[in-house]
């Protein structure tokens, strides 16, 4: 398999991150135009006046910058070491899909247990991706 295939799941997750990032100012400005918040409500982060549907998008964006760093790292390690096989690449795509589902749940109906289940599954997949890489060295 071509090692360049690793760039596609990396790009897909980055695209999701940029999509969520764009939602942050859109939702904040919309709330501002509706008179629900002022700039002062964001001076030290987000005040209690900021509506949940505005807060949640920022939280989702921060979440996409936390654990996924380990995903980007393992994908780059696979790319640099030219370790590309169907299992590891499939795990990478499954991880991306679970993060898309997680963000969709978080930004729409936000059911905590649905979100938790998908989040936990995505972390198991990520752990599997790391273990799959180290099987070459064990």
Q: What is the DSSP string of 57-101?
A: HHHHHHHTTSTHHHHHHHHHHHHHHT---HHHHHHHHHHHHHHHH
* pLDDT tens digits, one per residue of 23-69: 999 999 999 999 999 999 999 989 999 999 999 999 999 999 999 99
Residue 138, pLDDT above cutoff 90: no
What is the band of 89 on the pLDDT scale with cuts at 50, 70, 90?
very high
Kindly list the domain boundaries of the chain, sorted by start residue. Answer: 3-134
The encoded tokens of residue 108 equal 């729409």
Residue 107, pLDDT above cutoff 80: yes
- 3-134 is classed CATH 1.10.3720.10: no
pLDDT-above-70 percentage for the chain: 100
Segment 121-125 shows an average pLDDT of 98
User: CA nearest 122: which of 106, 135, 109?
Assistant: 106
Query: For the whole model, what pTM was predicted?
Result: 0.95
Contacts of 28 (CB under 8 A, 6+ apart): 37, 42, 54
């Amino acid at each position: 398999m071509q090692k360049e295939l690793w760039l596609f799941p990396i790009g897909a997750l980055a695209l999701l991150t940029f999509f969520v990032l764009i939602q942050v100012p859109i939702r904040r400005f919309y709330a501002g135009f509706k008179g629900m918040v002022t700039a002062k409500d964001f001076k030290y982060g987000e005040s209690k006046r900021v509506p949940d549907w505005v807060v949640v998008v920022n939280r989702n964006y921060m979440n996409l910058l936390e654990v996924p760093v380990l995903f980007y790292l393992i994908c780059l390690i696979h790319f640099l070491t030219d370790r590309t096989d169907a299992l590891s690449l499939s795990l990478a795509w499954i991880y991306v899909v679970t993060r898309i589902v997680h963000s969709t749940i978080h930004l729409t109906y936000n059911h905590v247990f649905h979100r938790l289940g998908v989040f936990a599954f995505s972390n198991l997949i990520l752990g599997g991706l790391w273990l799959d890489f180290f099987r070459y060295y064990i």
